[in-house]
């Protein structure tokens, strides 16, 4: 097990409340992909934030609150937002409007899946972490004027991630068995991810973990004590360790729930 995320986790203090422990919001899921919302929300709660907000279609909201009754189905103050997981740009107009509105506000966004095709990064005021897989990165680069393909991205993952970071001005985490983190003109290959993560929904879990760790370390980010890229790297490590801790075939909901024991172990050490 790694300790790269130990300093990102915080034992609750007597003076804490749900806001000081971090509030993360989600604009994720759609009628076609409702599970993405549940997976991200569950992962964030297992990391240990004080509150999770969810905004989405009524049918998905009902499923989220049934699975996670702690979720708050109202807009409000958040230190970070996770957007795009399970959002189909063809069928989720309300979600698209919510995501675009968040881009016009200062703050932190984890931009996953469908949101990568929605956001105008040239006019985005938020600090973003983009979490594409190879196909999504190829589509993003093509939208930004660089015609490419999934095979071309995989042939040179570091350069592709670095180019996307440069063109968007944001942090890019290119997901895969070999994750690549790119920002400020550099690209770094992270330790190999467990092969068991190659199953549906694990990326939704990772987006939730990143959002939760940003919210939980908001004050440190604002003060300059911590860097956003450092949080992303720690989130990837926690995500991988949770996968390694599971015996037998891994599912995304198992993965989200496996995060809590790892967090508790770090806080007890």
Q: Provide the CATH topology of domain 19-264.
A: 3.40.1190
Q: Give the total residue count for the chain.
A: 269
Q: Which helix (H) or strand (E) holds 249?
A: none
CB atoms within 10 A of CB 17: 9
* DSSP-derived 3-state class of residue 122: helix
Instruction: Write out pLDDT tens, residues 100-131.
Output: 999 999 999 999 999 999 999 999 999 999 99
Query: What are the residue ranges spanned by the domains of the chain?
Result: 19-264
Q: Which two tokens stand for residue 75?
A: 């807009």
Kindly give, in sequence order, each residue whose CB lies less than 8 Å from that of residue 132, ignoring residues fewer than 6 positions away: 112, 116, 140, 164, 172, 173, 174, 175
pLDDT at 54: 98
pLDDT at 1: 44
Cβ contact 178:189 at 8 Å: yes
Cβ contact 140:117 at 8 Å: yes
pLDDT per position in the chain (269 positions), as tens?
Answer: 456 899 999 988 899 889 889 999 999 999 899 999 999 999 999 999 999 999 999 999 999 999 999 999 999 999 999 999 999 877 678 889 999 999 999 999 999 999 999 999 999 999 999 999 999 999 999 999 999 999 999 999 999 999 999 999 999 999 999 999 999 999 999 999 999 999 999 999 999 999 999 999 999 999 999 999 999 999 999 999 999 999 989 999 999 999 999 999 888 87
Cβ contact 181:229 at 8 Å: yes
Q: Which is nearest to 22 in space by CA: 202, 190, 201, 263?
A: 263
Cβ contact 66:38 at 8 Å: no
pLDDT at 91: 66
Q: Which two tokens stand for residue 47?
A: 């990391």
Residue 222 φ then ψ, to 5°: -65, -35
Q: Which two tokens stand for residue 37?
A: 């919302």
Opening angle at CA 161, ends 199 and 5, nearest 5: 65
- Three-state SS string over 131-199 comes to CCCHHHHHHHHHHCCCCCCHHHHHHCHHHHHHHHHHHHCCEEEECCCCCEEEECCEEEECCCCCHHHCC
- Alpha-carbon span 131 to 138, nearest angstrom: 12
Query: Is the alpha carbon torsion for 145, 148, 149, 151 positive or negative?
Result: negative
Dmax over CA atoms of the chain, in Å, equals 54
- Alpha-carbon span 171 to 166, nearest angstrom: 9
């Amino acid at each position: 097990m790694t300790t790269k995320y130990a300093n990102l986790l915080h034992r609750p203090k007597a003076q804490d409340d749900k806001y000081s422990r971090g509030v993360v919001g989600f604009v994720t899921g759609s009628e076609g992909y409702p599970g993405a919302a549940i997976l991200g929300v569950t992962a964030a709660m297992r990391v240990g934030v004080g509150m999770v907000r969810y905004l989405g279609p009524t049918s998905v909201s009902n499923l989220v609150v049934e699975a996670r009754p702690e979720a708050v189905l109202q807009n409000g103050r958040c230190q970070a937002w996770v957007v795009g997981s399970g959002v189909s740009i063809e069928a989720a107009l309300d979600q698209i409007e919510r995501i675009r509105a968040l881009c016009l506000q200062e703050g932190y966004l984890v931009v996953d899946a469908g949101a990568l095709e929605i956001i105008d990064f040239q006019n985005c005021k938020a600090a973003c972490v983009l979490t594409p897989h190879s196909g999504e990165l190829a589509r993003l680069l093509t939208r930004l004027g660089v015609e490419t393909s999934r095979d071309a991205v995989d042939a040179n993952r570091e350069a592709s991630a670095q180019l996307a970071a440069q063109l968007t001005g944001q942090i890019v985490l290119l997901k895969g068995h070999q994750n690549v983190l790119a920002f400020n003109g550099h690209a770094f290959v992270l330790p190999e991810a467990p092969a068991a993560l190659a199953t549906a929904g694990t990326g939704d879990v990772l987006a939730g973990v990143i959002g939760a760790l940003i919210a939980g370390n908001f004050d440190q980010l604002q003060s300059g004590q911590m860097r956003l890229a450092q949080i992303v790297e720690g989130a990837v490590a926690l995500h991988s360790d949770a996968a390694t801790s599971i015996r037998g075939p891994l599912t995304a909901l198992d993965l989200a729930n496996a995060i809590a024991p790892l967090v508790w172990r770090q806080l007890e050490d």
